[in-house]
């Protein structure tokens, strides 16, 4: 009788131990499943946010257009010319153009502005207001292609790359046209000093001060 009770007790204890271990195993699996599920939810959310941010940046670049754009034709004996047109921003936020390049063999590219009748480098780039436009024109703000010896002939096309502050860029084809010259006075250091037809800037005291046309 005692042996029989002892045997039953041993079996009962073993069964309880097995059940306890099984419960622990299931609990651990449930816990791991919850962690994996939580992690699985979080990662797609982060990926989605990153994709959304990238898509917005690309959309901003794609929704900026350069309308009626043209490059002023120039002969080989002129070393610079300008790019003009109307920049339009189709987004709901301001868009900033920090710099630009072209497919031409130019040594330098600059953004110029006119302040109180004086032509000068424009610092800070060009900000196109949300849903608005920014006009680049002869005698006003414009893009300058500089240090280029090759002729730029009317009827050809120049690829202009606009570089945005968010790291994106967009390519625009700009037609080359022949237009009347707009003179700028350049000092000895190569800086722009003034514009013909506007209030003249003070002439630097250098023998090699000279005028350059936009082509």
Cβ of 120: how many Cβ atoms within 10 Å? 18
Distance linking the first and last C-alpha atoms of the chain: 118
Phi, psi of 196 (to 5 degrees): -65, 135
pLDDT at 119: 82
Q: CA 28 from chain center: how many Å?
A: 50
pLDDT attached to residue 188: 38
Average pLDDT, the chain: 72
Query: What is the residue extent of each domain of the chain?
Result: 58-175
In percent, how much of the chain has pLDDT > 90?
49
pLDDT band, very low/low/confident/very high, at 15 (cuts 50, 70, 90): low
More confident residue, 27 or 201: 27
Lowest mean pLDDT among 5-9, 50-54, 161-165, 173-177: 50-54
Query: Taking the C-alpha atoms of 148, 154, 155 and 158 in order, what is their torsion angle to the nearest 10 degrees?
Result: 20
pLDDT over threshold 50, residue 106: yes
Residue 179 has a pLDDT of 84
pLDDT at site 44: 47
pTM of the full structure: 0.60
Give the per-residue pLDDT at 19.
Answer: 52
> Binning pLDDT at 50, 70 and 90, where does residue 115 land?
confident
The pLDDT-based confidence of 210 (bands split at 50, 70, 90) is very low
Q: Is residue 208 scored above 70 in pLDDT? A: no
Percent of the chain with pLDDT over 70: 54
Our measurement of the distance from residue 156's CA atom to the centroid of its chain's CA atoms, rounded to an integer in Å, reads 26
Where are the alpha helices (H) located in the chain, listed in sequence order? 2-62
- Residues contacting 45, CB < 8 A, separation 6+: none
The answer on pLDDT for 88 being more than 50 is yes
Residue 76 has pLDDT above 50, yes or no: yes
Closest CA to 71 of 153, 8, 171: 153
In CATH terms, the superfamily for domain 58-175 is PCu(A)C copper chaperone (2.60.40.1890)
Higher pLDDT pick, 205 / 71: 71
């Amino acid at each position: 009788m005692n042996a029989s009770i002892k045997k039953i007790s041993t079996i009962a204890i073993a069964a309880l131990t097995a059940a306890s271990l099984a419960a622990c195993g299931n609990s651990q699996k449930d816990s791991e499943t919850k962690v994996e599920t939580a992690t699985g939810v979080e990662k797609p959310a982060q990926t989605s946010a990153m994709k959304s941010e990238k898509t917005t940046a690309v959309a901003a670049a794609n929704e900026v257009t350069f309308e009626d754009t043209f490059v002023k034709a120039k002969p080989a004996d002129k070393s610079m010319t300008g790019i003009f047109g109307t920049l339009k921003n189709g987004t709901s936020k301001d868009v900033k153009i920090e710099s630009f390049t072209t497919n031409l063999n130019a040594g330098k590219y600059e953004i110029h502005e006119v302040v109180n009748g004086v032509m000068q480098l424009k610092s800070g780039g060009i900000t196109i207001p949300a849903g608005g436009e920014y006009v680049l024109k002869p005698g006003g703000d414009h893009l300058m292609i500089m240090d280029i010896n090759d002729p730029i002939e009317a009827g050809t096309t120049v690829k202009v790359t606009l570089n945005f502050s968010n790291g994106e860029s967009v390519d625009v084809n700009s037609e080359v046209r022949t237009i009347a010259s707009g003179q700028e006075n350049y000092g000895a250091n190569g800086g722009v000093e003034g514009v013909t037809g506007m209030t003249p800037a003070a002439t630097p005291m250098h023998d090699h001060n000279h005028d350059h046309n936009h082509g």
